[in-house]
Amino acid sequence: MDISVVVPLYNEDESLPELVAWVDKVMGENNFSYEIILVDDGSTDQSWSVIMQLKETYNAIKGIKFRRNYGKSAALNVAFEVTQGDVVITMDADLQDSPDEIPELYRRVKEEGFDIISGWKKKRYDPITKTIPTKLFNAATRKMSGIQLNDFNCGLKAYRGEVVKTIEVYGEMHRYIPVIAKWAGFSKIGEQVVEHRARKYGTTKFGFSRFINGFLDLLSIFFVGKFGKRPMHFFGSLGVLSFFIGIIMTFWMIGVKLYHIAVHTPYKREITDQPMFYIALVAIIVGSQMFLAGFIAELVGRNAPERNQYLIEKEIV
């Protein structure tokens, strides 16, 4: 099969018939073999009824329905498990992503050898309350990940089939699929300017809390990707540094006091009366705790079943 189109949705019953008809038209014009996987993320409207009606008209449709709203990441992860296409296209159900972009996305993955092509909505029709947080989010993600994409959160993306079968998307990590893929060894990531259309039906699901959660998820991905298999390198290094800073400050205070005793000069304050004493004490305690945290994390990781799971691209036996 050429293409799997994955569409996560929540309360989008009005847009689904138009979206499916548009995708079917594009696929027919380009002679693609395809499937459309619609994931109903616990909608409270008639989305699932619409999906069942569309299935009677379009054999390519597959439907998955959650009992409640789990989020876009869960919807994508479940859909990725059942995709069969050589190239997987993800897009939103609100008609703001144009299916006309699919042929070029497919061509770049198949002919140019990209692992991921991420859409870039260069001209957006979103309100300023959404565009400004998005710009800040993209800048922070570029800085921390080293991936030079302008629009990480664009729902319109194309993946080589192997990519979606390898990565796991959870929480609200759908924003960082290129980052997750890079940590998994899929480093050929490109970008393509795509059309962004004004919302035709319904209302946006974006909230400011998603921006905060997205930043926290970025920190989580960065840490797990860099230190997931060697936590002692992170906690141990910081712990040892903090511990030795505290020890040096302690010996400095003791040395100063001994010097004053040796030269018979009055020592103005006792060691325990100095702010430096408490700073040194805190540094030693924090350093010891961080070192122990790294040690415990290493013990947990040593017993994890995936401790020696690595991604092998090719093998000669």
38-74, pLDDT tens digit by residue? Answer: 999 999 999 999 999 999 999 999 999 999 998 898 9
pLDDT at 83: 95
Q: Are residues 197 and 247 in the same domain?
A: no
Higher pLDDT, 244 or 134: 244
pLDDT, tens only, 223-250: 766 666 677 878 888 899 999 999 999 9
Which positions ≥6 away from 308 have C-beta within 8 Å? none
Q: Are residues 217 and 245 in the same domain?
A: no
Q: Are residues 89 and 22 in the same domain?
A: yes
Q: Are residues 48 and 174 in the same domain?
A: yes
**Position 35 pLDDT exceeds 80:** yes
Three-class SS of residue 190? strand
Q: Are residues 194 and 253 in the same domain?
A: no
State the total domains in the chain: 2
Higher pLDDT, 200 or 61: 61
Q: Are residues 151 and 291 in the same domain?
A: no
Residue 311 lies in a domain: no
pLDDT at 282: 94
User: Cα 159–187–107 angle (5° rounding)?
Assistant: 40
Residue 263 lies in a domain: yes
Quote the pTM value.
0.73
pLDDT at 227: 67
**Position 215 pLDDT exceeds 80:** no
**Position 313 pLDDT exceeds 60:** no
Buried b (16+ CB within 10 A) or exposed e, 220-237: ebbeebebebebbebbbe
Residue 105 lies in a domain: yes
| Strand arrangement, sheet containing 116-120 | 61-65, 34-40, 3-9, 87-90, 157-160, 116-120, 189-193
**Position 213 pLDDT exceeds 90:** no
**Position 137 pLDDT exceeds 50:** yes
DSSP 185: T
Phi, psi of 119 (to 5 degrees): -70, 150
pLDDT at 19: 95
Q: How many CB atoms lie within 10 A of CB 54?
A: 20
**Position 208 pLDDT exceeds 60:** no
Q: Are residues 203 and 270 in the same domain?
A: no
What is the CATH number for 43? 3.90.550.10
**Position 300 pLDDT exceeds 90:** no
Distance of alpha carbon 168 from its chain centroid, rounded? 10
pLDDT at 23: 96
pLDDT at 274: 84
**Position 308 pLDDT exceeds 50:** no
Q: Are residues 246 and 170 in the same domain?
A: no
Q: Are residues 79 and 103 in the same domain?
A: yes
When pLDDT is averaged across residues 25-39 and rounded to a whole number, the result is 95
pLDDT at 229: 65
**Position 100 pLDDT exceeds 90:** yes
Res. 302 pLDDT band, cuts 50 70 90 = low
Question: Given 3-state DSSP classes, what are the helix, strand and coil percentages for the chain, each rounded to the nearest 5?
Answer: 55, 10, 35
Residue 121 lies in a domain: yes
Mean pLDDT, rounded, of the chain: 85
Res. 122 pLDDT band, cuts 50 70 90 = confident
**Position 219 pLDDT exceeds 80:** no
pLDDT at 170: 80
* DSSP codes, 35-64: EEEEEE-S-SSSHHHHHHHHHHH-TTEEEE
Paired sense of beta strands 116-120 and 157-160, if any = antiparallel
**Position 314 pLDDT exceeds 80:** no
Q: Are residues 207 and 295 in the same domain?
A: no
**Position 107 pLDDT exceeds 60:** yes
Domain hosting 280: range is: 231-302
| Segments of 104-262 assigned E as strands | 116-120, 157-160, 189-193
Judge whether 97 and 194 are in contact, CB under 8 Å. Answer: yes
Q: Give the Cα separation of 224 and 269 in Å (integer).
A: 46
Residue 307 lies in a domain: no
Q: How many CB atoms lie within 10 A of CB 288?
A: 15
pLDDT at 309: 52
Judge whether 37 and 6 are in contact, CB under 8 Å. Answer: yes
Q: How many CB atoms lie within 10 A of CB 129?
A: 13
Residue 316 lies in a domain: no
Phi, psi of 12 (to 5 degrees): -130, 40
Three-class SS of residue 34? strand
Q: Give the Cα separation of 77 and 6 in Å (integer).
A: 10
Q: Are residues 159 and 17 in the same domain?
A: yes
Three-class SS of residue 97? strand
Amino acid making up residue 210: R
Phi, psi of 104 (to 5 degrees): -70, -40
